[in-house]
């Protein structure tokens, strides 16, 4: 039985790689590399097209099936060969803080807040915001008593990003998710920040991390592709290397490619939120997030550092037998829907 389960996990992983790798380089952040991205208006009618709508519905079903298979049919962890990654568990908060700190510091130096498409230098008080961001970046890099820094970022981020609009706030949810995780599970004063968190605390921290990272991916899927096809078309025009279908001789209409790319990003977001099969999900998601580095270089690397940190976190906890089940934890629906009992 265990052999069959292992074989099923391998087949599922191979199928996921084959399916999701078709649009891998399309996950670059268009707003980072297209001049004047604000000039491209949203077009929600694109989402209502039959092809786009069918792809969106298909990835939602795929995400549900993915979680069902993980919970009901496959072992945990699903890939025991990666158990060595589970040894990083005590040091994950320290490593995650480093990813976040370097990203914040790089963004502050370049005049952006949290993400490279949010320029705040022209705003009143923008300099103070960048100074705060840089100071928080240095603090996270030091790894010393990070809970206040994490709470400050989790509070200051939404307040500052509200100035740039809700889309800017939602697209930076990955960083805010990391901040909430570190507020729950900060590195300790022990060597290398070693920490052994309480399972109940850790599962809530992992849920916040997944909601942040997955929410950011879903937001970008709509804001830069599914609900803004003009921006995606311009990106492909400027960087035709992104169209992997054309590179292999498949003549796919531009709008169909945009729909596939947006649906792929939406699927990644849903899989991250589900927390199911974290080892396979991280291995598959690593393809697009590394492929774009060849084209966009340092900007893409620094901008995606928090995402890499999230992937490392999910891989490490998902590869440890004691914590793997916590990665996919979701609050029971019945608890969310439960109403307080009426007192007679």
Q: What is the pLDDT of residue 299?
A: 67
Q: Which of 98, 28, 96 is nearest to 303 (CA)?
A: 28
pLDDT of residue 20: 45
Instruction: Report the alpha-carbon distance of residue 183 to residue 314 in Å, rounded.
Output: 17
pLDDT at 155: 87
Contacts of 138 (CB under 8 A, 6+ apart): 101, 105
In the chain, domain spans: 2-328
What is the per-residue pLDDT for 32?
A: 56
pLDDT at position 84 is 95
Q: What is the pLDDT of residue 286?
A: 82
Give the global pTM: 0.85
Task: Record the tokens describing residue 157, joined without a space.
Answer: 């981020």
Which pLDDT belongs to residue 185? 96
In this prediction, residue 27 carries a pLDDT of 52
How deeply is 75 buried, as exposed, middle or buried, from its count of CB atoms within 10 A (0-12, 13-18, 19+)?
A: middle
User: Would you state the pLDDT for residue 243?
Assistant: 75
pLDDT at res. 199? 94
Q: Chunk the chain into consecutive blocks of 10 residues (it has 344) and report each block's average pLDDT, rounded to whole numbers.
A: 51 45 49 66 91 96 95 92 95 96 90 75 76 94 95 83 73 90 95 93 97 93 91 84 76 88 93 95 84 67 85 96 95 63 42
Ramachandran category for residue 257: left, alpha or beta (phi over 0 → left; psi -120 to 50 → alpha): alpha
């Amino acid at each position: 039985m265990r052999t069959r389960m292992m074989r099923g996990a391998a087949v599922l992983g191979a199928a996921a790689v084959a399916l999701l790798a078709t649009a891998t380089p399309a996950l670059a952040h268009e707003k980072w590399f297209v001049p004047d991205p604000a000039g491209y208006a949203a077009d929600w009618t694109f989402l209502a097209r039959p092809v786009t709508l069918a792809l969106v519905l298909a990835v939602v079903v795929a995400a549900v099936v993915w979680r069902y298979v993980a919970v009901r049919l496959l072992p945990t962890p699903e890939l025991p060969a990666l158990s060595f990654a589970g040894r990083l568990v005590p040091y994950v908060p320290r490593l995650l803080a480093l990813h976040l700190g370097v990203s914040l510091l790089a963004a502050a130096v370049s005049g952006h807040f949290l993400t490279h498409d949010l320029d705040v230098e022209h705003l009143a008080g923008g300099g103070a915001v960048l100074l705060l961001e840089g100071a928080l970046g240095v603090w996270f890099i030091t790894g010393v008593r990070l809970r206040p820094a994490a709470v400050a970022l989790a509070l200051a981020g939404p307040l500052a990003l509200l100035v740039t609009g809700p889309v800017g706030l939602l697209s930076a949810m990955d960083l805010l998710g990391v901040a909430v995780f570190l507020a729950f599970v900060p590195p300790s004063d022990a060597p290398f920040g070693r920490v052994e968190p309480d399972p109940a605390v850790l599962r809530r921290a992992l849920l916040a991390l997944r909601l942040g990272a997955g929410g950011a991916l879903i937001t970008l899927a709509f804001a830069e592709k599914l609900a803004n096809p003009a921006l995606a078309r311009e990106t492909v025009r400027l960087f035709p290397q992104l169209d992997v279908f054309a590179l292999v001789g498949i003549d796919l209409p531009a709008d169909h490619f945009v729909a596939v790319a947006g649906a792929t990003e939406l699927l990644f977001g849903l899989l991250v939120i589900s927390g199911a099969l974290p080892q396979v999900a991280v291995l598959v998601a690593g393809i697009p997030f590394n492929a774009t580095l060849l084209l966009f270089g340092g900007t893409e690397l620094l901008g995606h550092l928090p995402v890499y940190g999230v992937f490392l976190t999910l891989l490490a906890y998902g590869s440890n037998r004691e914590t793997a089940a916590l990665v996919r934890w979701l609050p029971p629906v019945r608890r969310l829907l439960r109403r307080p009992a009426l007192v007679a």
